[in-house]
Amino acid sequence: MSAADRNHLALRAARGDVGAFSSLVQEHSGLVYRVSLRVLGARDAQDASQEVWIRVWRNIKNFRGESAFTTWLYRITMNTCLSVRQKESRRDDRQYAGEVPYLAEPPGGDADPETQALNSERRVEIEAALEHVRAEHRAALVLRHMEGLSYAEIAEVLDVPDGTAKGWVSRGRAAMLVALSKENGRNPDGDGQ
């Protein structure tokens, strides 16, 4: 589906066309879930995805087509995920200090068991390392390196200047690398100790 088609569907949904909205949900539910999973982890991704679509439905009347529908959707998804992380962080500080969430396995393919195990292990390491990255830096990092957005698109989604988006991606990458190094028992300065 082209960007113009998506915007046309979104504008129809903004006028109350439930069928158009349903088509948007069907077309983009994977994107919303994928971003939610990468920002929040498996424990909260499904609930956050549902919350995103509730927010989209409530606010679709405000979509004017001035930006691409997917950019607008990324913004709502990121704002929802950041809100969930803030609430969870406050709750965790009060109740569950030190608890590690269960990380579910994604549906498997036909790769050999050794490759699957290594990929799964690496994915778990990355998800755990992302937990140590500040929320806005993690959001920018996910959008850049996992969703493939340009810095200009990230800036638009997160409603920050281009330079800020670049800085957040860079700081997020650095924080994640430090966390990965610590998890693997290496000094982030590279001397192995």
CATH no. for residue 124?
1.10.10.10
Question: In the chain, which residue ranges form alpha helices assigned H by DSSP?
Answer: 3-14, 18-40, 42-59, 69-94, 113-130, 135-141, 151-158, 162-183
User: What are the helix and strand counts (H, E) for the chain?
Assistant: 8, 0
pLDDT band at 124 (very low <50, low <70, confident <90, very high): confident
Number of domains in the chain: 2
Is residue 118 located within the same domain as residue 180?
yes
Contact 40, 79 (CB under 8 A): no
Alpha-carbon 154 to chain mean position: 12
Is residue 11 located within the same domain as residue 81?
yes
pLDDT for residue 119:
65
Q: What is the pTM of this model?
A: 0.67
In a domain, 100, yes or no: no
Q: Which domain holds residue 151?
A: 114-188
Phi, psi of 140 (to 5 degrees): -65, -40
Which of the residue ranges 44-53, 127-136, 149-158, 161-170 would you say has the lowest mean pLDDT?
Answer: 127-136
pLDDT at 55 over 60: yes
Is residue 3 located within the same domain as residue 48?
yes
Give the closest residue to 48 by CA, choosing from 20, 88, 14, 21: 88
pLDDT at 76 over 80: yes
pLDDT for residue 90:
59
